[in-house]
Structure 1
Amino acid sequence: PPPLPAGSVDPGRPGRYATTTGEYTLDPVRLPGLSAPVEMRGLVVAPKGTTGKRPLALFLHGRHATCYVPGQGEDAVTIDWPCAEDARPIPSHRGYLQDQKLLASQGYVTVSISANGINGQDGDLEDGGAQARSSLVRSHLARWADWAAGAAAAPDSVRRGPKADLSRVLLVGHSRGGEGVDRAAMDSLYPPPADQDGTPGRARWNIRGTVLIGPTAFGQNPVPDVPSLTVLPGCDGDVSDLQGQLYVDGTRSVSRGRALHSAVHITGANHNYFNSEWTPGQAQAPASDDFWEDPEDPDPVCSTDSPTRLTAEQQHRAGATYIATAARLFVAGDDRARELIDGTGRRAPSADPARALTHAVGAGRGAGFLPDAGVRVTGGGRLCSAVDPDPDAACLGEDAHGSSPHFAYWLPERESGRGAIALDWS
């Protein structure tokens, strides 16, 4: 199909500010449920030449291998923590540098934090580490709140940029990092039980929005009152059922319905290439394409030689563009960006040649029709259940698991309240 018309704004274009880059390392923190302390390390990219406080964007990578031995290939890659003496930590937190530089050029202070200490210890946690990741995110935000208030001496990498405005925070998470920042937004509004929380105390920040890139949704607990943009990679070989759609669908008819929740499906994008440290040819440690390709049965959309499959550079540029779109709408309040993510059918040219298909709920949108138990269907259709072991009740057949993000599920065999209408016509 031809490209969609261009929108009135293109948030993927760099802004007018030069940028400065540096890292900080603080004392590690101990988090409930984890035996070893977790690192407090962040990569800061900030604008130069600005005045006043600037909004803050925090990035959290997902679950990936933690350690590698240079020159020894994939066999020396582990998910241990801490790393062995001859191994180095995989710098997953440096994989969003392109996204950070774009936002910093537009006036945002950005930090991407390392979570190897959680990745190496979350295998036995019932929530997959979501609470630990939330605690880590909020531990960093607490430090940034101290630095912005002058209550503590900031690291040099932080002092080189403007002070952060903690009333305007955007959280960006990838894979399990997506679920982690979603939980951090939830915990910032509604504190978790003290014995489960590694960062107790009142939140001294305001989360204006979240960006969830190929996120897990093990807990299925979206935050209805915080705007969100969920990126669904069309060739995701890791979170292949695109369960992140639940961060949109799960907010319907919950709370006030004022916040916008958008899904952006990017055709030809895999899971890993949104992070350059998970991308072959760019990463310091061994990395791979997560889309599994059968040479005897090539995928018409996702095979590497398919014209619809994005290169790593094209995919990362598209990801950066939609992160900046969320910042423009949720944090800066520029409503002109909304048409790029709410199903209006406009594109951001900076994301070309990626094709993004979008839709949204919330932000005052009413439900024209809700397929609940009180609905009767006649003619060529039936009321069906999104997740149900009974084939007569289920919307999709047993072989269709993972084929539609609206029907993704985690553990329950039957989920009430997730209905749809299956239409049949000739």
Structure 2
Amino acid sequence: MNKYMRFRTSLRLLTGPVAGLALAAAALTSTATAGATGTGGADRSSVDVSGGTRTVRYDLGDEAWHLPQTGEPVELTGVVHYPTDLSEGRHPLIVMLHGWHESCADRQAEAARTAAENSGDDAAYEAASARLFSWPCAQGTPALPSADGYDYLAQKLAAQGFVVVSAGANGINASSVSGDENAAARADLINQHLRMWQKLSTSGKGELAGKFTDPVTGAARSVGFFHHLDLGKVGVMGHSRAGAGVTWQAADRHRGQWPQGVKVKAVAALAPAYNVMTENMSDYTITKTPFAVVRGTCDGQVGGEAFAFAADVAQGNRSGFHRFAVHGANHNYFNTQWSPRSGQVAAYDDATPVEGHPGQCTDREGSTPTTQLTEPQQRRVAATYLGAFFHRYLGTDTTQDPVLTGARHPDAAITEVDVTAAAP
């Protein structure tokens, strides 16, 4: 029986079938010590640019695309962060995708669901949930902007020379696809966006031509992406269930589904919610593409199987495999729209508090209690390590290697980060 035919609740880090990878990485495993100082000067990326960043959006409609598996409608929308000056050279493209979360910002439905949960009314709970997870949303109800939740990371990367697209996936969240089909659907959606960007980059035409708008005013904006994108250097990042989606999309056996002219050079799974009931690990196995996985020790939604599954996926990967365990990080704070400070519908802190110890947290598996990170702290750490990863593998910035191997901990004054690496 495949070991992922059953759900595993115990933390299994780089053991069993990944022993060879673990041994290869052993010399490159390190943990940050709070208060420690870094060595050397500030990091400088090979794709650093000056002049700041700009942001545009595109929205081709809530039903612009349909799931290949079921025909259910999905939006083709994106928020794009890019360097102000695109005129010099070609810029690597990074596509980000959010995971499973409510699709419609319906406050009345949220209140009704909470009341139903408190009263134990299952029928009312299901009815309210159906409104929160509908697609398209009811007239007058805004879509929940989960794609905006990674602006903090996208802006940092754009300031350093990358073009970053965060795509919407509310239609998938409201759909009937689950398990491996859900991962495949998210991979298909990423490829659809990449297909549109490839057309725009090479011909200046296609679905995205003339579709960019100002995120504040909605006015049309003209942006010179034509001939200034490098689709041979693409990065993908997925959070939560989209972490499984990007793993599927970058898997060895699915490389043939990438649009012509597109080459994925770096894949990052952020707090990935893998379907551990899968019967076919080859649908996720990545041996030809650099791969990183990040998880917080206070994640209330994704357990240690995120690391175990990712390590098995990366067995035999000689391109680079990196694992980052962020002490005190939960699941939702990685997305600003899912976090309490946003005031957004369905935003909450998923960390498990430690009774009698205010400010301490653990995860659903009872990991060692630690001080919980604030929202800004957690995002700073995520931007540090994901930024270092993309710089290293979408360019030639080997100055990031000490961060990726754990030899240097830029955020040691904030928290500890356990780093395990099998570098190329």
Contact (CA 8 Å) 1:65, 1:90: kept in 2 or not? Answer: yes
TM-score for both structures, normalised by structure 2: 0.74
1:143 and 2:219 are equivalent in the alignment: no
Aligned pairs for 1:123-202 within 5 A: 124-127=177-180, 129-150=182-203, 152=205, 154=209, 155-157=211-213, 159-160=222-223, 162=225, 163-186=228-251, 190-191=255-256, 202=259
- SS at 2:156's partner residue? helix
Q: Residue 236 of structure 2 aligns to a residue in which SS?
A: strand
Q: Would you say the 8 A contact 1:248–1:262 is kept in 2?
A: no
Q: Give 1:362 deviation, angstroms.
A: 5.1
Structure 1 161/270 Cα, relative in aligned 2: closer, same or farther at 3 Å? farther
Q: CA deviation at 1:213?
A: 0.6
Q: In the alignment, which residue of structure 1 is the partner of 2:409?
A: 347
Aligned to 1:205: 262
- Contact kept? 1:19, 1:48, Cα under 8 Å: yes
Secondary structure of 1:184's partner? helix
Q: Aligned equivalents of 1:84 and 1:201: distance in 2?
A: 34
After the TM superposition, which of the residue ranges 327-336 and 288-297 deviates more from structure 2? 288-297
1:238 and 1:208 map into 2 onto residues whose CA distance is: 28
Could you tell me which residue of structure 1 aligns to residue 286 of structure 2?
Answer: 223
1:235–1:291 Cα contact (<8 Å) kept: yes
Cα deviation for residue 320 of structure 1 reads 1.2
Partner of residue 271 from structure 2, selected from 207, 211, 214 = 214
Shift of 1:3: 3.7
Structure with the larger helix share? 2
Question: In the alignment, what sits opposite 1:65?
Answer: 102
1:291 aligned onto 2:351: yes
Local SS of the residue matching 1:225: coil
TM-score w.r.t. length of structure 1: 0.74
Q: Does 1:17 align with 2:48?
A: no
RCO comparison, higher one (Cα < 8 Å, 6+):
2
Instruction: Determine the C-alpha separation between the residues in 2 that align with 1:204 and 1:356.
Output: 36
Asked whether the equivalents of residues 15 and 102 of structure 1 are also in contact (C-alpha less than 8 Å), the reply is no
SS class of match (1:102): helix
Identity %: 29
Report the secondary structure of 1:318's partner residue: helix
Task: State the distance in 2 between where 1:258 and 1:106 align.
Answer: 27
Change beyond 3 A, Cα 1:11–1:144:
farther
Structure 2: 5+ residue runs without aligned partners? 1-32, 114-127, 214-220, 364-368
- Distance, in Å, in 1 between the alignment partners of 2:259 and 2:56 is 29
**1:302–1:115: structure 2 CA closer, same or farther, 3 Å change rule?**
same
The offset of 1:46, in angstroms, is: 0.6
Give the corresponding residue for 2:136: 82
Matched residue SS, 2:59: strand
Matches of 1:87 and 1:313 in 2, distance apart? 29
| Secondary structure at 2:405 match in 1 | coil
Q: CA deviation at 1:79?
A: 1.7
Cα distance in 1 for partners of 2:185, 2:296 equals: 25
For 2:198, give the aligned amino acid. A
CA contact (8 A) 1:227 1:261 kept: yes
For the aligned residues, what is the CA RMSD?
2.8
Give per-residue Cα distances to partners, 1:178-229, cap 9 Å, x unaligned: 11112111278533xxxxxxxx675321111011110122245231111011
Spell out the pairing of 1:176-325 with structure 2 (5 A cutoff).
176-186=241-251, 190-191=255-256, 202-218=259-275, 219=278, 220=281, 221-252=284-315, 254=316, 257-293=317-353, 295=355, 300-302=360-362, 308-325=371-388
Q: Does the Cα contact within 8 Å between 2:328 and 2:372 map onto a contact in 1?
A: yes
SS at match of 1:103: helix
Whole-angstrom CA distance in 2 between matches of 1:177 and 1:187: 18
SS in 2 for 1:217: coil
Deviations 1:10-59 (A, max 9, x none): 55999633111111012511122234211000000110124122111111
